[in-house]
Structure 1
């Protein structure tokens, strides 16, 4: 009996609702049929004269017509070819543009473009025409591309009939704007209700975090519909939403549509309470609950004082944040499993590049472990890890952040060196393989000198060195270190050793005195000895990481890959407004125009980023020993332009950012470095190589004619196959004066720019310049660098400088774009030949100095990572004879991989 009374109330409420709709439609249809087109226009004009200034009618009609995407003057069909908005909006909590997910996409297909991942929703209604059977139900699923189906039963002249309605939609967009298109059609039973196939167009514009504007239009044969909606978030977040909509059909005057509005509240994450009012005393109450990846809503209709039908919606992966029971029930029960077998790099290839470990991905995985409550720590396998000491420091700093967050870390090592143990010492527990070893002999920096080799080869070389510490070409002009170079190298080695020693001692595993003694007395140790010294916690294979994690956590834990946990713990971004972009640009390698940092392309890219409105800040990662002043300056000019544009641009220095690398850095709004960064080297150097017996040994001679006293400097022997040209003589005294003047002028310009960019006195800059290189902490003390900070912290500081709230999701756009896949040796050579066919030679003091060189030879001599620093430097001098260079000596620690 209670069920019958409830069903009677529901049917009576539905009858009142449809009766009210029919009254409005019937009233208007009668008015339309009883008047000519001219009469309707006349009545509309009289209304507008009462409500708007003269001339406002055409403007208002044009605006409404554009937004609704359809003309509203066609004659109505005999039956409703399109379902009325009031019928379909019963599944929507607010409006088509302000609600979320695949259900809202039933009316506004632009919603498909706002879904970050696929959502599946299913619904049903308790409004029944037939007993013991669900009459109104359906589902929708998709992201970007979506499909929906809805089945309903209506009373027809021959009895109840059902109709199935389908939609296929396509949308694209982001948090700031989206657009979509959908095609709707009906199955069997469509003719009974006059259903027509239709095309739907929708758009959503969210220019700010607190405003949303939506518009939707549906077009069928002879009938059009449109909806405009507005949403306001007074707190700029989902907690409070005020919304309104205005629906119009083609058989009604523009000011005779259906307005509605309401409020939606989320007092706590995952709980929704909403109310929507419309004409004829209609009201909808929405109650919703979202738990992590599932959600449920009930939407109850009221007509006047009677309760109508209730629709129920279940959702999988809804685009709203929900309650997080797993965050409490599984708090700290997972450990992030990370294998760092491979090479630490800046960018990997998109495919077929399993050995590369992008630095930012490593840091982001550990940051995820810090933020997610279900993750109690990380378990890292360091076997086969290969990274320079600066990248090791960045990963270690992130592990220390993890520890400060109250979470644990365990590390497995086998054959470790000083850098690997320095990284592992930040962990709570260290496991070493039974056959592992630790080699920790200290730190050194060595250099190979080629003076005698060049003499034996018959190549003369002269170093143009006018600054005490500018030692980049010593390897070609000397047999051993100069006193100045020895002084600065000793300082770099000392700084690196102190940083690692303080880090290891600070872990509590040993004292500084004990560490120094071990380095000098026991540089090579076995797992047994390390266990005795408490430098490691246990001996075991990689499989022992699980037990080590359990011991560190004090409870049983589950090891999972980062990708798996991220998928399970995904939370949508509900913020409105365009997603701000932070650009991370890499200036890595030698400073050259078309290789290394690619001065031409990088400067053009930085200009585009400066002009793009969606780019809020730029971080340039500089890892370069220098090279061509022109390539450095092209990039530096763009950095300076950012200051004038008042757009934040920060520089994060990697392992080496010296000479030309520092030229790039000096005009940034803020410069950060690591303790292991080698920076400074403010100075200019040059050199000259010539034939001093090489031709005789090879059986080569050359001859020439010339106009111009020094023109012959840029002729000489061309080596067969290589295409390298070697001048026949050295410079005379007059030519040396010209070269010296050019170098001193460039040095004067360099120091003035440093003083201007860093806010230092010119005299102070010249005191610390002279080509001197500095480690990161000393560079901070001298004012050449602002602070010691890793890359991820620099990005966060740039976000804050751009006014982006903490926690706001941003899009990190990397430059250059990630390449697809690595080329094998032969394919790489062919690609270089193709690229070289469009390339030219380098330029020297007298103009074109090597036009006959192919780009493949230039690339192999000047920038190949397989050649030593000294070989590349000599190649650069041969390819660009007489060109002053901004170079720093190759002061990397032994066996460190080059950054890329």
Structure 2
């Protein structure tokens, strides 16, 4: 027995030494390879892959959403490369464009800033929108000085269409009755359940958003391709274009295969060249903003709900948990090394309670003398705007979808639906309002009055906070609120945001608020702190880590499925379950 114990201890010791040795070897290899960037390096970039704002530290997110690159990483890689003499140019693959308009504008700005260093930036595509629209993909491509297209490729300029389904007739056939209300007419998510087509207000809001976003693309393309705006609008009316037609129209510079384009760009450089993927370059060169005045970077991404941030593997969407984000903001407030906060928001809304919990921490940060700058992504609307409105500065892209200052809620009545299936319900009730949230009962007269008072309370609170936070007259806020979505460009004119731009603009605002020099170094610290590669590698040596991670992901997936399973027969999920300050899933400009 004693010998067996000794052997067991020896084996444990050897395993520990082996694991430690591998960790050391990994560290040495990482350190040794970190700076090995050849002279005359050409960065390669794939813009056909959608970019993520943020991936929460959860097993489900790591497994189901871990493949996408992050916007910040690309922006910082191009910023670093612009000043790196070893990098001579950029070759990017473009296509349909699936990252959303605001993220596309963020990347366009980063590419144009890279070009200002005097280095070439060339785009190549197999096809821009195969079998589908290529509007945003082509808009992205025009950030580059040259665009080359594979001979069999197309440029599918088609213009924007925003389509909304309406299922009220289906619900009527299923004998499901929607009972919702809104504040006010532009808060149109409930229209999907109550109408057969867009209301006048719904159509007005969508048309204004479409005109704004389409105009931004037209101006960007016209400027990049040396055309007038009328010429570009005419091209949209005459698309899509086959390869040779795209050349004749001046949309692309020529037809070439990938190998020919690579040969073309290497011929521009004296001596041998090497291609290097942009993300590997960032790993080797190191990201900027790692020393200087401390600035916390906090992400608010996904539907905002109470609890922890995470990822819904069923819907494929992020969840912005108020507990996680509020704690990150509190950590920034309490950290003496942090002097300002950059809050990156990409959120369509959700819970008013969760939104208020996060907003409160923004107020506390400013009271503690730490300025807060909000940088908006694709969407920062309804609850996403609520959490932003008290920042010192709000920065949005022209194509950001924001505002939607309003509220909606309600429920579906499903008794007749169940009855047709041969299912009946019965109950006992303790109080007058016991059935208030039940799908088996309509609102009572007093219940409906209480429901209306609740909607009014949230709307009044929302608009008053906007008026205070944005220093606007309450009467003006009420004019532009009513649940109306606005583009970032329109929001700037309305006083709902302060400036247009992305990460670099937000960092400039931080320096201004801290009264630093324009080129003062900043140290960005991500909160909550991200696990390092060493920590992730060390988890491998936990014999249960793989099983635990898979099990945790499976549990998260099952938990996400459970509401859908319980809700079979309810037909659709009412907007109120996603939060009362929420915008419906909006089509991105494609």
Q: Same fold, TM exceeding 0.5? A: yes
For the pair 1:713 / 2:429, whether they are aligned, the reply is: no
SS at match of 2:112: helix
Aligned to 1:560: 275
How far did residue 571 of structure 1 move? Answer: 11
Structure ranking higher in strand proportion:
1
- 1:338 pairs with 31, 45, 60, which one? 45
Partner of 1:699: 422
The SS at the match of 2:151 is: strand
Q: Show structure 2 runs of 5+ residues with no match.
A: 1-23, 56-60, 129-133, 310-318, 537-544
Three-state SS of the structure 1 residue aligned to 2:385 is: helix
1:463, 1:688 within 8 Å by CA — same for their partners in 2? yes
Distance across 2 between alignment mates of 1:413 and 1:832: 38
How many residue pairs get aligned? The number is 530
Indicate the SS of the match to 2:376.
strand
Partner of 1:347: 54
Q: Is the 8 A contact 2:91 2:121 kept in 1?
A: yes
Show the counterpart of 1:893: 588
* Gap change, CA 1:587 and 1:889, over 3 Å in 2: same
Distance, in Å, in 1 between the alignment partners of 2:224 and 2:256 is: 21
Q: Tell me the distance in 2 between the aligned counterparts of 1:489 and 1:688.
A: 25
Q: Greater relative contact order: 1 or 2 (C-alpha under 8 angstroms, separation 6 or more)?
A: 2
CA shift digits 1:402-422 (9 cap, x unpaired): 223322200111221111111
Alignment match, 2:338 = 615
Q: 2:562: which partner in 1? A: 857
Q: What RMSD in Å do the two structures reach over aligned CA positions?
A: 3.7
1:393 corresponds to which residue? 105
Aligned partner of 1:655 among 371, 378, 394: 378
In structure 1, the residue matched to 2:79 is 367
Q: What is the match of residue 149 of structure 2?
A: 432
CA distance in 1, matches of 2:421, 2:200: 37
Is 1:501 aligned with 2:208?
no
Residue 446 of structure 1: aligned partner: 163
Q: In structure 1, how many angstroms separate the alpha carbons of the residues matched to 2:97 and 2:549? A: 24
Q: TM-score, normalised by structure 1?
A: 0.54
- Taking the aligned partners of 2:288 and 2:436, their CA distance within structure 1 comes to 66
In the TM superposition, residue 144 of structure 1 has moved relative to its aligned partner by 9.6
**Residue 732 (1) aligns with residue 427 (2):** no
Matched, 1:813 2:526: yes
Asked if 2 retains the 8 angstrom alpha-carbon contact of 1:460 and 1:692, the reply is no
User: Are the equivalent residues in 2 in contact too, given 1:652–1:791 (CA < 8 A)?
Assistant: yes
Deviations 1:763-807 (A, max 9, x none): 111111111111111100111000001124313432553456635
Based on CA coordinates, which of the two structures has the bigger radius of gyration? Answer: 1
The SS at the match of 1:619 is strand
The equivalent of 2:501 in structure 1 is: 789
Secondary structure at the aligned position of 2:188 is classed as: coil
Contact 2:295 2:522 in 1 (8 A): no
Contact 1:414 1:436 in 2 (8 A): yes
Distance 1:489 1:572 in 2: 39
- Counterpart secondary structure, 1:426: coil
Question: Residue 436 of structure 1: CA displacement?
Answer: 1.1
Q: In structure 1, what is the Cα distance between the partners aligned to 2:65 and 2:425?
A: 47
Change (3 A) 1:709 1:415: same
Match of 1:216 in 2: none
**Aligned partner of 1:832 among 528, 537, 556:** 556
Is 1:589 aligned with 2:302?
yes
Moved more, 361-370 or 816-825: 816-825
Cα displacement (A) at 1:467: 1.4
The one of 188, 191, 195 aligned to 1:474: 191
Tell me, what secondary structure is at the counterpart of 1:679? strand
Q: Aligned match of 2:361 in 622, 638, 643? A: 638
1 CA distance for matches of 2:426 and 2:34?
Answer: 79
The separation in 2 between residues aligned to 1:749 and 1:502, in whole angstroms, is 38
Q: Equivalent residue for 1:526? A: 242
1:585-633 deviations in Å (ceiling 9; x for gaps): 2211112113621112221221122111122222222111112111111
Residue 351 (structure 1) shift: 8.1
Q: 1:686 aligns with which of 399, 409, 422?
A: 409
Q: Using a 3 Å threshold, how does the CA distance of structure 1 residues 822 and 688 change in structure 2: closer, same or farther? A: farther
What SS does the aligned partner of 2:305 have? coil
Shift of 1:754: 0.5
Distance 2:225 2:209 in 1: 25
The CA deviation at 1:673 is 0.5
Counterpart CA distance in 1 for 2:464 and 2:287 is: 50
Matches within 5 A, 1:245-324: none
Q: TM-score, normalised by structure 2?
A: 0.81
1:134-149 equivalences under 5 Å are none
Task: Judging by fraction of residues, say which structure has more helix.
Answer: 2
Contact 1:341/1:381, CA 8 A, preserved across alignment: yes
Q: Which residue of 2 aligns with 1:63?
A: none
Give the match for residue 347 of structure 2: 624
